[in-house]
Structure 1
């Protein structure tokens, strides 16, 4: 079985969402560079992300911050969200069961997959942080997905683009492929990835091989 992360693996959302975050922080007097935002926020759950926002803002988050960020991120997605280049070919070639497991919530994942045309491919096989008490980097979400898919963790491969996701996959006893699109190869290796690649063609080739 194969588990795909959503943001940055299925849909090319990370650049859009981090750009919105940087703009909103700048409007509140905090200079947050794009690379720094990626370093701090990529792959984290919303509650963890808001703790980081609170720290950057000096201890409090305006009541309208999260709703405004959601509105502006949705607008950015409607205007420019696409699938990750090459992922459709990966899914078309896959001969194993697969699903998606995301640190986002069900509403966000359904929206992004629906907007990009991927939703029918994952119908009934969408698992999110809403489903577990502890999101990634805890193993709970991946273990939940494996149980629901009737798959053994040791026979499961995870495709992830963040250290948070790689850490969760390895804690779950699964094989982890790191997709280094916005996170460095070194960071994914340091998190424990079994292999790190930089294109979906490489992901497709790895998934075509028998699981070790």
Structure 2
């Protein structure tokens, strides 16, 4: 990433090293009125962030660079996880004519953060499915992960009338994951 995510800009600690000091100095500058000057500052920040991804980061900048890379990776993974969860949710609703749990369900943006986490747990189980596991087995396990994260007992899979909808959610999440570039190489 050549632009720092918002979480970095808001909470970047006072890290050691010349690159960290230069970043703080650039961020402390008053916003220039001249668009050319602003663009020069932004380019210098991008050059700093680019250097954090290089293999030959100087020793005095290693802590700053590692923290920047970790922050970017976390940000990308969280957004990717949320996008896959949204895709699963929308796949479920598309299959169920917009109903969830027997009730009309709203769009993703109306789902609370608490209610989104079970969908993220669903997606985590889909992505972590063992090699060779069948689609229905993965969908069942992911649906149980959903219900566990939702603090409710999962309905029986074999008699669940929504089984087809969970399969649709699984397929939507997988399609979205295949369309994505994938997560960064450094862990979740």
TM-score normalised per structure 2 = 0.32
Kindly indicate which of the two structures has a greater share of residues assigned to helix: 2
Larger radius of gyration: 2
TM-score normalised per structure 1 = 0.29
